[in-house]
Amino acid sequence: MWIDELEKKVNEDGQKAIAKKLSSSQSLISLWLRGERIPGTKKILPLSELLNMEPKKLLEEINENEKG
């Protein structure tokens, strides 16, 4: 799952570094990790690159999580 991969990256590099790479705030990264928010369309490509995922697969996983 994309959240698990993001959590691994945060554990490796730190939340501040990940937020900087994605041009996002640390609080937004935290909201994603807790499942309280999902990435917006502008973050899909940089997030997919960070996680080494195809953008389509990332979108599918995000949509799957939203459905429950």
Per DSSP, the three-state class of 37 is coil
Q: Work out how many domains the chain is built from and give that number.
A: 1
- Each as own residue / partner, the long-range contacts of residues 4-12 (CB below 8 Å, 24 or more positions apart, any chain) are 5/51, 5/53, 6/32, 6/33, 6/47, 6/50, 6/51, 7/33, 9/50, 9/51
Domain that holds residue 38: 2-67
Residue 46: predicted pLDDT? 98
Residue 65: predicted pLDDT? 81
Residue 68: predicted pLDDT? 65
Q: Give the tens place of pLDDT for each residue, 7-62.
A: 999 999 999 999 999 999 999 999 999 999 999 999 999 999 999 999 999 999 99
Residue 29: predicted pLDDT? 98
Residue 28: predicted pLDDT? 98
Q: What is the pTM of this model?
A: 0.91
CATH code assigned at 45: 1.10.260.40
Separation CA 51–CA 4 (nearest Å): 10
